[in-house]
Homo-oligomer: A and B are copies of this chain.
C-alpha cells in the first residue's frame, strides 16, 4: 500500500481540532493541490474562499445550524462553482459574456469545484490535518452568497472545516464496496441484495445506539423521519432552484 492509498483508506471525518493554527505554507500547498486537478476544457471554473477569521465564521454559524466545527476550526475552505471570472475574461476580450448562463455550465463548474475540493482534502490529510465537510453549505445557498459577496454566476458547492485533529475516531462504518459497484451496466437491487449489503451497517454498535436514541426501528426511518425529512428537503430544493435562477444558471 503506497502512502497515498493509505491516506485515502485512513480517511474519517474529524470534528475536534487542537488550537494549533494552520500555517500559511501548509495552506499554500493545499491550495496548489486543489488548483491542479482536472477541469472542464482547462477553464478552471471554480473559486476558493479561504476563511481563518473567526468573525467571518461566526457570521455563517447559524447557517451551518451552529455545528461547533463551523466556528471551532482554524481553517475553512469554501469551494464555489464560478463562471463569473471566465465571463469577465470574455468581457475584456470582446467575446460573448452570456454563453455560460445555463445549467450545463453550472454542472461543469460544480464538477471543477468538487474535484478541487477533494484534492484539497487529500492534500490536507497527507499533511496531518483532519477535516469535515459541512453539507449545510448547499441548504441556504442564497444567504451564503450574500455573506461571501458572491456575484452572479457563482454558487457555493462545498465547505470544509480543517485543522489538526484533537480526536482519533474509528473508521466510519461503510457499505461494502461491491454494494456500490456495477459492471458494464447498472444491476438493480433486490430485497435480498439490500439486506445483504446493509447487514453489517445495521448490526453496527453505532446504529444500535442511534435507533435507541431515536426510538425508531431502522436507519432508513432515522433518515426519512428525523435527519433529512421530505418537507425540509423540498423546502431547500426550492431555495436551491430559485438561487440557480437568481445566479443566472437556470431559466424560470
Any chain B CB within 8 A of the CB of A233?
A: yes
Residues of B within 8 A of A148 (CB): 185-186
Residues from 114 to 166 in A contacting B, C-beta threshold 8 Å: 114-115, 117-119, 121-123, 126-127, 131-133, 135, 138-139, 147-151, 154, 157-158
Q: How large is the interface on A (under 10, 10 to 19, 20 to 34, 35 or more residues)?
A: 35 or more
Q: List residues of chain B with CB within 8 A of the CB of A118.
A: 37, 114-115, 118-119, 122
Are A98 and B186 in contact, with the CB atoms below 8 A?
no
In the bound complex, CA of A33 to CA of B195 (Å)? 24
Contacts of A65 in B (CB 8 A): none
A148 to B186, CA, bound (A): 6
- Against B, the Cβ 8 Å flags (1 = close, 0 = not) of A89-102 are 11011111011101
Per the 8 Å Cβ criterion, residues 228-252 of A in contact with B are 228-230, 233-234, 236-237, 240-241, 250
Cβ-defined contact, B31 with A8, below 8 A: no
From B3, B43, B100, B104, A3 is in contact (CB under 8 Å) with B3
Residue contact B108 to A110, C-beta cutoff 8 Å: no
Chain B contacts for A53, CB-based, 8 A: 184
Cβ–Cβ contact B90 & A224, under 8 A:
yes
Q: Quick check: is A182 within 8 A (CB to CB) of the other chain?
A: yes
Cα distance A224–B102 when bound, in Å? 14
Pick from B32, B105, B147, B177: contact of A9, CB under 8 Å: B32
Q: Which residues of B contact A228 (CB under 8 A)?
A: 41, 99-100
Chain B residues near A117 (CB-CB < 8 A): 115
Complex A-B: 26 CB contacts under 8 Å: A4-B7, A11-B36, A36-B174, A38-B132, A40-B135, A41-B223, A47-B186, A49-B183, A49-B185, A56-B184, A56-B185, A85-B179, A85-B189, A90-B223, A93-B220, A94-B221, A95-B224, A107-B157, A111-B138, A111-B157, A115-B117, A115-B118, A118-B122, A119-B122, A122-B122, A148-B185
| Supplied contacts A41-B135, A94-B217, A151-B186, 17 more A-B pairs, CB within 8 Å | A9-B33, A13-B38, A35-B177, A37-B118, A38-B121, A42-B173, A47-B181, A48-B182, A56-B185, A84-B188, A89-B194, A89-B220, A95-B225, A96-B230, A104-B240, A147-B185, A148-B185
